[in-house]
A and B are shown apart, each in its own frame.
Chain A
Amino acid sequence: MSISPEQKNGFRRFYGHGIPRVKIEELAGKLIVVEGADGSGRSTQIARLVDWLETGGHPTVQVGLKRSTLVSKELELAQKGNILSRTTLSLFYATDFADQLENIILPALKAGFIVLADRYIYTLMARDMVRGMDEGWLKNVYGIAVKPDAVFYLSVQPQELVQRNLAKNATLDYWESGMDLGLSRAMFDSFVKYQTAMQGAFRKLQKTYGFTIIDGNRPVGSITKDLRKKIRVVLAEKQTS
Chain B
Amino acid sequence: MKTFAELNFPGRLIAVEGLDGSGKSTQIYLLKRWLEAEGIKVYFSEWNSSELVKSATSKGKKRELLTPTTFSLIHATDFGDRYERHLLPLLRAGYIVLCDRYAFTAFARDVVRGCPPEWVRGIYNFAALPDITFFFKTDLEVSLNRILEGRPKLKFFEAGMDLRLSADPYESFRIFQGRILEQYVAMSDEFKFLVMDANQNVEKQQCIVRKLVGEKIELRKFRRRSPLPLPPAFQPAEAKAPEHDEDLAAV
Contacts and interface: CB of A to CB of B under 8 A. Distances in A.
Given A17-B116, A91-B76, A84 B52 contact: yes
Contacts of A75: 56
A222 interface: no
Interface string A174-207: 0000000111000000000100010000000000
Interface in A4-40: 16-17, 19-21
A171 interface: no
Contact of A131 (B66, B70, B81, B249): B249
A47 interface: no
Interface residues of B, number: 37
A95 B73 contact: yes
Interface stretch (A48-56, A137-145, A161-169, A233-241): A137-145
Highest count of chain A CB atoms <10 Å: which of B68, B116, B251: B251
Interface stretch (B9-17, B119-127, B146-154): B119-127
Given A20-B115, A95-B74, A132-B250, A141 B68 contact: no
Chain A interface helix/strand/loop/mixed: helix
A21 B164 CA distance: 13
A141 B123 contact: yes
A183 B248 CA distance: 8
A143 B126 contact: no
A130 interface: yes
Contacts of A83: 52, 85
A44 interface: no
A228 interface: no
A98 B69 contact: yes
B149 to A, nearest CB: 34
Contact of A141 (B50, B70, B122): B122
Interface in B37-60: 50, 52-53, 55-56, 59-60
Contacts of A77: 52
Nearest to A97: B73
A132 B53 CA distance: 23
B84 interface: yes
Given A19-B67, A87-B126, 8 more contacts: A17-B118, A20-B114, A70-B65, A92-B52, A95-B70, A95-B77, A98-B69, A140-B118
8 contacts: A70-B59, A71-B77, A74-B53, A83-B85, A84-B52, A88-B50, A88-B85, A102-B67
